[in-house]
Amino acid sequence: MKRLIFLLLIICTLVQCARAQQGFILSGQVTDADNKPVKNAGIKVVGKQPPAMVNTNKYGLYQAYGLQWGSYEVTILAGDKVYVGKVIIKPSDPVKRYYNFKLQGKNAVLTVTDKDMFREAVMKAVKDDPDSRIDMPKDSKFYEYRNTGDEKDKPVK
């Protein structure tokens, strides 16, 4: 029994070490006070490791990879204004979670969610523009996804 417990402790330790090497993904959406996406905003994430610097895309989405657990200050430069927010990543948090910032006053107000903002943005883009298409790798092949109206979206080879 002691050997089994010892073996489980070793496995748990190895899993945590592997997870720590991979790091967490800080990603989400930046919106203004009216909940509209903020395009091309610069984001600087500062914590206990070298800063990560990323930009939002046209949907206000961003991703910063390889972060370790801890406390981070997030500075967002949108236009000529600077907003500051804070993020705390705990060792028990999932590797991928969504950290959305709403810009209000001088603050970047944080909302943490498991809702995939990237998928939501893609689905909205396809809905808004029926002729849009999204090419993505899947099993080393490219599939084309198109909005098919009332039917569910289906991969087309």
Domain check: are 46 and 60 in the same one?
yes
Same domain, 129 and 58: no
pTM for the whole structure? 0.65
Full residue range of the structural domain in which residue 133 is found = 119-156
Does residue 70 come out as left (phi exceeding 0), alpha (psi in the -120 to 50 range) or beta? left
Instruction: Check residue 3 and give left, alpha or beta (phi > 0: left; psi -120 to 50: alpha).
Output: alpha
The domain spanning residue 109 has which CATH number? 2.60.40.1120
Q: Is there a single domain that holds both residue 106 and residue 130?
A: no
Q: What is the dihedral of CA 116, 58, 38, 83, to 10 degrees?
A: 90
* Per-residue pLDDT reduced to its tens digit, 48-68: 888 889 999 888 899 888 888
- 16 lies in a domain? no
User: What's the pLDDT score for residue 13?
Assistant: 56
Domain count, the chain: 2
The whole-number pLDDT of residue 137 equals 43
Q: State the Cα–Cα distance between residues 119 and 39, nearest whole angstrom.
A: 17
| CB atoms inside a 10 Å sphere around CB 9 | 10
Q: Would you state the torsion angle of the CA atoms of residues 24, 29, 33, 39, taken in this order, to the nearest 10 degrees?
A: 130
pLDDT reported for residue 71: 93
* Domain assignment present for 13: no
47/120: higher pLDDT:
47
In a domain, 12, yes or no: no
Residue 61 lies in a domain: yes
Do 74 and 107 lie in one domain? The reply is: yes
Regarding whether 99 and 72 lie in a shared domain, the answer is yes
- Give 70-120 pLDDT, tens digit per residue: 999 999 999 899 999 999 988 888 777 788 999 998 899 998 888 777 777
Give the pair of three-digit tokens for residue 103: 């810009």
| 125 and 103 within one domain | no
- 72 within 8 A of 87, measured Cβ to Cβ: yes
Is residue 137 domain-shared with residue 71, that is, in the same domain? Answer: no
The predicted-structure confidence for 115-153, as pLDDT tens digits, reads as follows 777 777 777 766 776 665 544 444 433 434 444 444 444
Q: Are residues 29 and 104 in the same domain?
A: yes
